Amino acid sequence: MTGALEEGFADVNGATLYYDVAGNGEPLVLFHAGIADRRMWDGQLEAFGERYRMIRYDMRGCGSSEAPTGAPFSHHDDLRGLLDFLGIERAILVGCSIGARTVIDFALAHPARVPALVCPTVSGFESDEESPEEWDKLVVADEALGKERLAQPSAVNRLAEIQAPTLVVAGDLDRPEVDVRAKLLSRSILRAQKVVVNGTAHVPSMEKPQEFNRVVLGFLSGVSGAG
């Protein structure tokens, strides 16, 4: 990895977001899952930092970030605020779980700012599947943070609007509804392709980081203007 790790705090939409930056090149933002924080991307620091200026941050209420309780917010607005704070106009977006939902919502709201996407899920999707109790205990409790303002209209009905090249990365051991969402993304977004990382579940980047890195970097190297 080239370049020292930079870190700091950004005041964004009433929250104080912790972020770090590593590497040089085209900006690439990593948005973590609700069951983790920015450290879930430690396995990408070396590989991605060789090619990109990699930005990680803790969503409000996670890791080292703070947020007022009871205040309405949206994660994709927080992402916009952080990019503006860092002076970044365009960035490749990589998200997992809630992070994936966020980058899709951001791409729909600000298409000119997103040259490429990596994600497996989408907002506005209803499922009859119930999450296991253990899962619910791990996920960020938005009720404690305040009311999250979801994108309107929901992304699930607007996927055809996304023009950015999109890589849908899924684990073959993940929950069934996640696979359904991944398939919806891959068939609804014009320039999307889907890759399954075998032997992984909800967080392929942590479960098989070398395979995840190979897949994502290979995709980005083939995307014009994103490598």
Mean pLDDT of the chain: 89
pLDDT tens-place string over residues 94-144? 999 999 999 999 999 999 999 999 998 887 765 555 555 544 444 444 444
Residue-by-residue DSSP string for 197-215 = ETT--S-HHHHSHHHHHHH
Task: Look at the chain and count its residues.
Answer: 227
- pLDDT, average across residues 35-45: 95
pLDDT tens-place string over residues 41-88? 999 999 999 999 999 999 999 999 998 888 889 999 999 999 999 999
| pLDDT score of 224 more than 60 | no
In contact, 94 and 29? CB cutoff 8 Å: yes
- Helix ranges (H only) for the chain are 45-49, 75-86, 98-109, 133-138, 142-145, 176-188, 204-207, 209-221
In contact, 194 and 182? CB cutoff 8 Å: yes
The CATH topology of domain 6-221 is Rossmann fold (3.40.50)
Domain boundaries defined on the chain: 6-221
C-alpha dist (Å) from residue 169 to 67, 68, 103, 118, 188: 30, 33, 14, 7, 15
pLDDT tens-place string over residues 157-185? 999 999 999 999 999 999 898 899 999 99
Q: Full-prediction pTM beyond 0.75?
A: yes
